[in-house]
């Protein structure tokens, strides 16, 4: 499996990121120009990043992932889109030692925190991809290869003119369904009321997905996030209601 070692390790190419064009009549999120929040790595984080990223990380590219090779084993795989600083990623992966977990995010300092956390915890079942989650699904994930996809507290894009950027769209639900094995699970969580209404209107839009609601005790993957993330805590402090959604790939 190729790893991007040209130039700074784990850096995205400059300029507007590429976006896969799909003309199937479904709605896909429109990827705008990516502007990264300010944030630099500490010297220790940078040292760990330079040392460990070639093993545990990849930058978005067009090579389909061979999970057996990357993880050094054959195991069910879960993709988490928008892992942030990896709080829930580490908490859940530690309870899922027999599952491979691939965390996807654009923000380097968040991935660096995740890397440091799972190295300290001596977890060997986490890998990371730096890039847009929808593009990762399009370009790097083989059809019917995942047992689970997680989308926890995605950007709600609250302004109406930005709703086209929301990740939960009819096209994304179809794309996720195509990457799940039969019986695989999509788990979404949000604390944004308007976004919850948006998702409510789309729970049955994808024929390949059977909406299971919440909770679903027979789910083949862990659905208890174990702890609250900083974004979730922020929402709870403002009396937001956490809504969770589960679908099964038919």
Check residue 18 and give its pLDDT: 75
Check residue 27 and give its pLDDT: 96
Mean pLDDT of 15-20: 77
Q: Is residue 169 part of a domain?
A: yes
Q: Is residue 39 part of a domain?
A: no
Per the structure, the count of domains in the chain is 1
pLDDT category, 30, cuts 50, 70, 90? Answer: confident
Q: Residue 196, Cα to own-chain centre: how many angstroms?
A: 18
Is the model's pLDDT at 65 over the cut of 60? yes
Q: Is residue 83 part of a domain?
A: yes
Mean pLDDT of 13-18: 72
Say whether 230 counts as a known binding-site residue: yes
Cα–Cα separations (whole angstroms), residue 238 to 52, 154, 190: 38, 17, 14
The residue to which tokens 């977990």 are assigned: 101
Q: Any idea what the CATH number is for the domain that residue 201 is in?
A: 3.40.50.150
Q: Is residue 115 part of a domain?
A: yes
Average pLDDT, the chain: 90
Cβ-count burial of 161 within 10 angstroms (0-12 exposed, 13-18 middle, 19+ buried)?
exposed
Check residue 8 and give its pLDDT: 79
Q: For the segment 135-186, what is each residue's pLDDT rounded down to a tens digit?
A: 999 999 999 999 999 999 999 999 999 999 999 999 999 999 999 999 999 9
Q: Which residues are catalytic?
A: 155
**Other CB atoms closer than 10 Å to residue 160's CB: what's the count?**
8
Say whether 155 counts as a known binding-site residue: yes
Is the model's pLDDT at 39 over the cut of 80? no
Q: Is residue 138 part of a domain?
A: yes
What would the two tokens of residue 174 be? 């179809």
Check residue 83 and give its pLDDT: 95
Out of 15-24, 90-99, 205-214, 229-238, pick the least confident.
Answer: 229-238
| Strand (E) or helix (H) holding 181 | strand 180-190
What would the two tokens of residue 75 be? 């195991």
Nearest to 185 by CA among 122, 92, 106: 92
Out of 4-18, 35-49, 172-186, pick the least confident.
Answer: 4-18
What would the two tokens of residue 219 be? 């789910």
Check residue 150 and give its pLDDT: 98
Through-space distance between the first and last CA atoms of the chain, rounded to whole angstroms: 31
Q: Is residue 150 part of a domain?
A: yes
Is the model's pLDDT at 5 over the cut of 60? no
Is the model's pLDDT at 31 over the cut of 90? no
pLDDT category, 229, cuts 50, 70, 90? Answer: low
Check residue 13 and give its pLDDT: 79
pLDDT category, 1, cuts 50, 70, 90? Answer: very low
How far apart are alpha carbons 28 and 92 in whole angstroms? 29
How far apart are alpha carbons 173 and 26 in whole angstroms? 10
Nearest to 189 by CA among 158, 214, 172: 214
How far apart are alpha carbons 101 and 179 in whole angstroms? 15
Check residue 225 and give its pLDDT: 87
Say whether 105 counts as a known binding-site residue: yes
Q: Residue 231, Cα to own-chain centre: how many angstroms?
A: 15
Q: Is residue 22 part of a domain?
A: no
Check residue 233 and give its pLDDT: 59
What range does the domain containing 105 cover? Answer: 44-225
Nearest to 225 by CA among 150, 131, 172, 122: 150
Q: Is residue 31 part of a domain?
A: no
Say whether 108 counts as a known binding-site residue: no
Contact 63, 2 (CB under 8 A): yes
Q: For the segment 48-63, what is each residue's pLDDT rounded down to a tens digit?
A: 999 999 999 999 999 9
**Strands ordered across the beta sheet of 126-130:** 57-59, 126-130, 100-105, 77-81, 146-152, 180-190, 243-249, 209-213
């Amino acid at each position: 499996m190729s790893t991007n070692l040209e130039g700074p390790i784990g850096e995205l190419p400059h300029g507007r990121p590429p976006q896969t064009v799909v003309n199937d009549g479904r709605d896909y999120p429109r990827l705008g120009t990516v502007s990264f929040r300010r944030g630099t790595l500490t010297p220790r984080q940078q040292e760990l990043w330079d040392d460990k990223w070639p093993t545990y990380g990849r930058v978005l590219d067009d090579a389909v992932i061979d999970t057996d090779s990357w993880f050094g084993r054959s195991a069910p795989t879960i993709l988490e889109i928008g892992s942030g600083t990896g709080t829930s990623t580490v908490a859940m992966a530690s309870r899922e030692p027999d599952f491979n977990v691939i965390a996807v995010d654009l923000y380097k300092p968040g991935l660096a925190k995740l890397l440091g956390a799972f190295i300290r915890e001596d977890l060997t079942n986490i890998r990371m991809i730096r890039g847009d989650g929808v593009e990762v699904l399009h370009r790097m994930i083989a059809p019917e290869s995942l047992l689970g996809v997680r989308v926890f507290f995605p950007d709600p894009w609250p302004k109406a003119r930005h709703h086209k950027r929301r990740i939960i769209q009819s096209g994304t639900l179809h794309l996720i369904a195509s990457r799940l094995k039969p019986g695989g699970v999509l788990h979404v969580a949000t604390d944004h009321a308007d976004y919850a209404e948006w998702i409510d209107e789309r729970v049955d839009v994808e024929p390949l997905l059977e909406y299971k609601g919440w909770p679903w005790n027979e789910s083949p993957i862990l659905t208890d996030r174990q702890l609250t993330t900083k974004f979730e805590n922020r929402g709870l402090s403002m009396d937001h209601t956490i809504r969770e959604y589960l679908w099964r790939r038919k």
